[in-house]
Chains A and B, each alone.
Chain A
Amino acid sequence: MATSTLRRFAELAVTPLVPDDYLDLFSPLRRGAALRGRVVQVIPETRDAATLVIRPGADWAGHVPGQYVRVGIDVDGVRQWRAYSLTHGPRPDGYISITVKAVPDGVVSHHLVHDTERGTLVHLEQATGDFVLPADAHKLLFVTAGSGVTPVIGMLRNLFPVTDEGVLGFDTLNHRATRDLDIVVVHVAPSEPDSIFLSDLKALDAAGAINLVARYDDQHGLLDVADLSTLVPDIADRITYACGPGGLLDALETHHAAAGLPLYTEQFRATVVVAGEGGTVTFGRSGAVVEADGSTPILEAGEGAGVLMRSGCRMGVCFSCVSPLLNGAVRDLRSGDITTAVAGETDPGGVLVQTCINAAAGPCTFDL
């Protein structure tokens, strides 16, 4: 009997469930199942960091160094999704690993580091991420401004986990991708901030993982992008990744274009700069209706109401959370930009918005 006929027959036999619901009882990692993985080893790296070695399901398509994976795990009974960089290149045994540092107030990272046991089943998505470290060019320059450091820290942290007892990366992790990296980080801010991000950068610098060049406006004056070649003499050998407000990125683009240098940019402002009125958020599919204030991301409003929300980095970087806005307006918490959808006028499928960095700006309806 052809497989499809067999499958059709199995569907008839188990309706309203699907055959997978029964097969999951016996073999959750089989080919054709929703992608999952089983934690086969938890290696404590330090007091506050651990590497989780995971046996992925049969349909895992592999990854290249530098990509990240979305991991879904139940914490206090609630499914939480986070994105973590894969900390080993492809391994001969087919396992994958993530190295997680328990960040303060990090519900998920704390759970992964301290409360995850061997045998735990986690949910996975295929590896993704354009921030693929080039195999040959290993000299990189990061230019970050203000809170634009956040996603870069995310990348660096996963390459070289910063723990309370130092930076992991060179000898502790068998990491082909990080071994030969030569990274300079030029970090720009109005004044020297007292933030965990800066202390992470300093720790990375002290450990030799990166070379930190900090520029504070009140000490060094405003940065002129023309000065970059002085600050980073070998800038011509480096690939530049820049993240920060639009003005800086525009200037860099002009500068790099003129010099013929490769540049990847990402506009990023993680802090809430514009909070407006808020409004009633309706989740059409699930029927949930939530009063959300102007500083609560749609993602959090939905999660609080038990709506199935997709999420990833939760800071506007990974686009895992994009969802269709059918009607109404939302405000980008980083820029204050308003996105509107009008039923009957805009795309009937909805206008896709990032729910993690958008808040209600008046009543709005999502197709969720």
Chain B
Amino acid sequence: MTTIQKQAQSPIAHLTPEDIEQLGKELDAIRAEVIEARGASDAAYIRKLIKTQRSLELGSRIVLLASIFPPAWLVGTAGLSVAKILENMEIGHNVLHGQWDWMRDPKIHSTTWEWDMATPAADWKHSHNELHHTYTNVLGKDNDLGYGIMRVDEEQTWHPMYLGQPLWSFINALFFEYGIAAYDLELGATIKKKKLKDPEFQRRLKGVLSKIRKQATKDYLVHPALSIPTGSFLPTLAANFTANIVRNLWSNSIIMCGHFPEGVETFEKRSIEGETKGEWYLRQMLGAANISGSKAMHLMSGNLSHQIEHHLFPDLPSNRYAEVAPKVRALFDKYGLNYHTAPFPKQLYSAWHKVVRLSLPNGWLAETKVTNAPALQDDDRRAEGAPRDRRPRPARGR
């Protein structure tokens, strides 16, 4: 993939500025419909989910008090992993987006929420909500593109250092929450600029370290210590470690599926100068990929399986993405755009394939073409029950 502006045949070349404005209006209308309709049932959804998650976490941690017994370890660790995933994905991520602020409940509000994560909510909100969601997939602006450590586009000059990219991507996945914390801190850039002593940086660093200390104390000290009466200190510690790794791998995978699969577009920095609302929408449509699957898949991914819908409407309640998805997809078809969706294994494979491919110089590993880009294959589209494109799809690649 190369930035949309440099592609020989841009997938948006057929759209006039009027088309794009009209597209924006139609998306605004979809958004307004949901805002009009949201109410008591949505509030009941998030409250029930939070209650379920807390009960599951509490129950799992109680079971783990006897984790010396293997069945208890297995059940407790599985439960804790699921609880941590729900807490981060469907609850934390979405609450921090302000998706539930409209309820005016101070206990479920983006300004008061804190999550089970190394990075403090406030830092994450800045780098994620303000930077990533505004500058989605703009090279040099959206640091989520490779988190500043990866080569994610042919445009970036290859360097032997990138050979290690698959390895450190995997390590980043394992310890994702710490990677995110370092990234939210802009640790890399701060080291490069030799600004580690900057008081503002020091203040934020202190905040992150304090958060990490509290998290670690809970998972690796207090909970294991409570398990001592059954002789379960170490098994409980291992259970917490495992649950954190499972959660990290899972959330990293979901996020990779959202922006890294082959066929997701990237954009030139100057292309967003003076960008209209319609153009912003268009960039969000092309800069994200969905995961098709069951209700459980949507729930466990925090509805980031509807990454496209989430990027179009980041502050709509996540439980509504499923219902707006067909309407959004109809607009993709109407305007001859590619709705990028595929099952989880396919998207994940595609994303990792890209990580490996770009770790090598351009052209060493086969580039994805129309014929092998996961989302573009017709069997997926049929599986999703969507109509075929009416317009010929523009050729991709070079």
Contact = CB atoms under 8 A, between A and B. Distances in A.
B344 interface: no
Nearest to B44: A77
B222 A74 contact: no
A76 B51 CA distance: 20
A78 B103 CA distance: 4
Given A9-B222, A16-B115, A77-B42, A22 B54 contact: yes
Interface string B31-66: 000000011111110000001001100100000000
A286 B222 CA distance: 33
A351 B278 CA distance: 40
B214 A15 contact: yes
A77 B320 CA distance: 15
A15 B223 CA distance: 11
Range class of the A interface residue count: 20 to 34
A306 B101 contact: yes
Contacts of A25: 51, 54-55, 58
Interface in A308-332: 308-309
A13 B227 CA distance: 12
A39 B384 CA distance: 47
B329 interface: no
Contacts of A80: 104
Contact of A306 (B104, B116, B215): B104
Range class of the B interface residue count: 35 or more
List the 3 closest A-B pairs by CB distance, nearest first.
A306-B101, A77-B43, A16-B114
B214 A306 contact: no
Contacts of A165: none
Interface in B208-252: 211, 214-215, 217-218, 221-223, 226
Contacts of A77: 38-44, 102-103
B103 A13 contact: no
B261 interface: no
B363 interface: no
A107 to B, nearest CB: 12
A22 B58 contact: yes
A12 B39 contact: no
Contacts of B102: 77-78, 306
B54 A13 contact: no
Question: Is the contact region of chain B dominated by helix, strand, or loop, or is it mixed?
Answer: helix
Contacts of B214: 12, 15-16
Given A17-B114, A22-B58, A285-B111, 7 more contacts: A13-B223, A16-B114, A74-B40, A74-B103, A76-B39, A79-B105, A303-B104
A53 B165 CA distance: 65
Contacts of B112: 308
A80 B214 CA distance: 35
A76 B104 CA distance: 11
Contacts of B42: 77
B199 interface: no
B258 interface: no
Contacts of B107: 21
A77 B43 CA distance: 5
A9 B107 CA distance: 22
A14 interface: yes
B109 A308 contact: yes
B110 interface: yes
A227 B244 CA distance: 80
Interface string A68-81: 00000010111110
B106 interface: yes
Contacts of B109: 308
B263 interface: no
A165 B115 CA distance: 52
B302 interface: no
B244 to A, nearest CB: 14
B98 interface: yes
B217 A308 contact: no
A74 B42 CA distance: 12
- Identify the interface centre among A16, A17, A286: most chain B CB within 10 Å of its CB: A16
A12 B107 CA distance: 19
Contacts of B58: 22, 25
Contacts of B105: 74, 79
Contacts of A76: 39-40
Interface string A11-37: 011111100011001000000000000
27 contacts: A9-B222, A12-B214, A12-B217, A14-B218, A15-B214, A15-B217, A15-B218, A16-B114, A17-B54, A17-B114, A25-B54, A25-B58, A74-B103, A74-B105, A77-B39, A77-B40, A77-B41, A78-B102, A78-B104, A79-B104, A79-B105, A80-B104, A286-B101, A306-B98, A306-B102, A308-B104, A308-B112
Interface in B66-106: 98, 101-106
A180 B179 CA distance: 71
B249 to A, nearest CB: 21
Contacts of A22: 54, 58
A306 B106 CA distance: 11
Nearest to A15: B214
B43 to A, nearest CB: 3
A307 B112 CA distance: 11
B106 A308 contact: yes
B38 A286 contact: no
A286 B54 contact: no
A5 to B, nearest CB: 13
A12 B216 CA distance: 10
- Identify the interface centre among A14, A77, A285: most chain B CB within 10 Å of its CB: A77
Contact of B218 (A12, A78, A306): A12
B316 to A, nearest CB: 12
Contact of B215 (A15, A286, A308): A15
A309 B104 contact: yes
Nearest to A80: B104
A307 B111 CA distance: 9
Given A22-B54, A25-B55, A78-B104, A13 B43 contact: no
Contacts of B55: 25
A13 B218 contact: yes
Given A74-B40, A286-B110, A286-B111, A13 B226 contact: yes
